[in-house]
Amino acid sequence: MNNRKRTAGQELWSVIKYFLNLPVAFIDNIARILKFSIRTKISFNYILLYSLSVLFTATLVCGGYLYVSKNQIYDRNREYISSSLETIALQDSNYRLQEKLEQIFEENGVNILVINRATGESAASSQLYPVVNYRSLTEQNVVYKNFSIFSLLSYELIALEANIGEAETAVFFFDVRENIQTIKIVLVLMSLGYLIGFLMILFLGDVKLRRVLNPIKKISKTTKNINAQNLDMRIDVGKAKYELKDLALTINEMIDRIQDSYRKQQRFVSDVSHELRTPISVINGYANMLDRWGKDDPEILQESIDALKNEAGNMSDLVDKLLFLARHDRDSLKYETAEINISNLVEEVAKETAMIDSTHEICADIIPEIRIEGDPNRIKQVIRIFVDNAVKYTPEGKKIQIKIYKEDKFSVVEITDAGIGISKEDLDNIFERFYRADESRTKTTGGYGLGLSIAKIIILQHGGKIRVRSKPGSGSKFSVYIPMIETD
C-alpha cells in the first residue's frame, strides 16, 4: 500500500514538474529560435528601422492633417464663434445661459460648454458625455492635457477653446467624422504600402543579402580547409564586393605571411639540422678512430683531440647564435646600454684583426671621439661580423678598408673589401638566416650564414640601418649607420 501511495505521489509530482518545466522549455525554444544567422539579423534590423520610419511618418501625417483641419475649422467658423461668444457674454444667469446654449445647438448643431474658471461651475448645450465630461477627460489624461487636439477623437469631435472675459472659457465641439474617415483611408493605404515594403524587405532583401553574404560562407569554408599541408590555398575574391572583398584580400595577405614564415621556419629547421649533422659526424668519426687506434698512437690521439675541440667550438658558436635568434623571436633580448666611444671600438677591432691576420692589408681611417648610445659588446660584435666576412672573402694580399666617420646625425662604420662581391639576386637575401651565396658555400670560408642576420637585428634595435654596395668581382662595401648622441 505504501508503495502504491509513493508511486501515485511520484506520478503526481511528475505531472506537476512537467507543467512547471513548460515555461522553461518555452523560453529555451525561444532562445534557440533567436539564434539567428547574420543574414536574418540584418533583415530584422532593416524591418525594424523600416517599421519605425513608417510609424513616424504615419504619426507625422495624421498629426499634421489634424492640426491643419483644426485651423481650417476655426477659419470656417470664425464669425460663428465670435457671435456665439458675444451672445454668451450677455447672459446674466446660469439658467438663461443654459437656455441660450441649447438654442444655439438647435440652430447650428454645435455643442458648446461654458466653464467658470473661478467657481468651477459649467453649462452645456447638451448632455452628450464628452461635452459634460470634457474637463475630466482632458485633465486626467497627460497626453490629452498636453495635446488637446487628440482628446475627443474617439468621439469623432474636436474641441476649440476660447476665453470669455477673465473668468469663463467656452469650448466648441465640432464634428470631425469626415476628417477621421480621411485619416482612416490614409492609414489603410499606408498599411498596404507598409505590407508591400515589408514583404519586399523580407524576400527580395533576403535574396540580395544572400548574394552579398555568400562570400562569407566561401571564406569560412576555405579557411577551414587551410592547414600546413595546403598553405597554397587562397580565398577566391572574384565575386566578393565592397568590405567583404577587402576582408578576403586581407585574409589572403595574412595567409601569404603565414606561408612565408612557415617556409622560413622549415628552412631554418632544415639548415640547423644540416649544420649540426656535419660536426656531429666529425665528432662521431674521431670518437670511433680514438676507440680503434687512438689508445696506442699519440699522433692520432692528439689529432682527434684537436678535431673534437674544434668541432665542439663550432657547435658552441652555432648554439650561441641560435639562442640569440630565439631570444629575438621571443622579444626577450636585453641590451646593457651606455654611452660608447664607437671610434675606440672600431680601432680595437682593426688592431685585433691586423694582429691575427697577416695575409691581408688592414687599413683603418678613424675619426676620434664619435659617441653613440648602445650595448658596447653587441656593437663590437656587429663590427667583428662585417670585418670577419671581409677577411673570409678577400683574397690574400688584398686590402681591407675600415673607416668611421660622421654623416648628418649618424656615425657610419664602413668596411670595404676586395673580395668576390655579391650578385644583385643575392643582395636581397644576404640578411636572411642561413643564407649564403653559392660562391661562399665552400669549406674555405665556412660559417653558418647567421652573422649578417644577427648584425641586422642588433643595428635595427639600436635605431640604425645598414647599406650594402657590391658587384661580383669588385668587392663589397658595408656601411653601418648608428644614431650619434645629440650634443648641445
Looking at the fold, whether 358 and 464 belong to one and the same domain comes out as yes
Q: Which residues of the chain have pLDDT under 70?
A: 1-13, 15-37, 140-150, 239-240, 294-295, 436-447, 487-488
Does residue 476 lie within any of the structural domains?
Answer: yes
| 451-461 vs 376-393: helix crossing angle, rounded to 10 | 150
How far does CA 385 lie from the centroid of its chain?
Answer: 42
Q: Are 422 and 470 in contact (CB under 8 A)?
A: yes
Residues of the domain holding 11: 1-34
Q: What contacts 24+ positions apart, CB below 8 Å, involve 173-182? A: 173/110, 173/111, 173/112, 173/113, 173/128, 173/130, 173/131, 173/134, 174/73, 174/77, 174/110, 175/109, 176/69, 176/73, 179/65, 179/66, 179/69, 180/153, 180/156, 182/65
Q: Cβ atoms within 10 A of the Cβ of 305, count?
A: 13
Looking at the fold, whether 40 and 30 belong to one and the same domain comes out as no
| Whole-number Å distance between alpha carbons of 219 and 208 | 18
Looking at the fold, whether 90 and 139 belong to one and the same domain comes out as yes
Which region, left, alpha or beta, applies to residue 368 given φ > 0 means left and ψ of -120 to 50 means alpha? beta
Looking at the fold, whether 22 and 154 belong to one and the same domain comes out as no
Three-state secondary structure readout of 341-393? EHHHHHHHHHHHHHHHCCCCEEEEEECCCCEEEECHHHHHHHHHHHHHHHHHH
Nearest to 153 by CA among 144, 145, 161: 144
Looking at the fold, whether 478 and 367 belong to one and the same domain comes out as yes
- Which pLDDT value is given to residue 10? 65
| 38-76 vs 205-225: helix crossing angle, rounded to 10 | 160
Looking at the fold, whether 133 and 272 belong to one and the same domain comes out as no
Whether the model clears a pTM of 0.85, i.e. scores above it, the answer is: no
- Which pLDDT value is given to residue 7? 59
| Whole-number Å distance between alpha carbons of 325 and 322 | 5
Looking at the fold, whether 70 and 156 belong to one and the same domain comes out as no
- Which pLDDT value is given to residue 26? 60
Q: Does an H or E element contain 478, and which?
A: strand 476-483
Looking at the fold, whether 312 and 425 belong to one and the same domain comes out as no
CATH number where 113 lies:
3.30.450
Q: Cβ atoms within 10 A of the Cβ of 384, count?
A: 17
- Which pLDDT value is given to residue 440? 45
Looking at the fold, whether 69 and 115 belong to one and the same domain comes out as no
Looking at the fold, whether 277 and 168 belong to one and the same domain comes out as no
Does residue 305 lie within any of the structural domains?
Answer: yes
- Which pLDDT value is given to residue 17? 66
Looking at the fold, whether 12 and 61 belong to one and the same domain comes out as no
Q: Are 197 and 46 in contact (CB under 8 A)?
A: no
Looking at the fold, whether 389 and 299 belong to one and the same domain comes out as no
| Whole-number Å distance between alpha carbons of 453 and 451 | 5
Report the domain count for the chain.
5
CATH number where 449 lies:
3.30.565.10
Q: Strand 157-164's sheet: what is its strand order?
A: 122-124, 111-116, 168-175, 157-164
* Amino acid letter, residue 144: Y
Does residue 373 lie within any of the structural domains?
Answer: yes
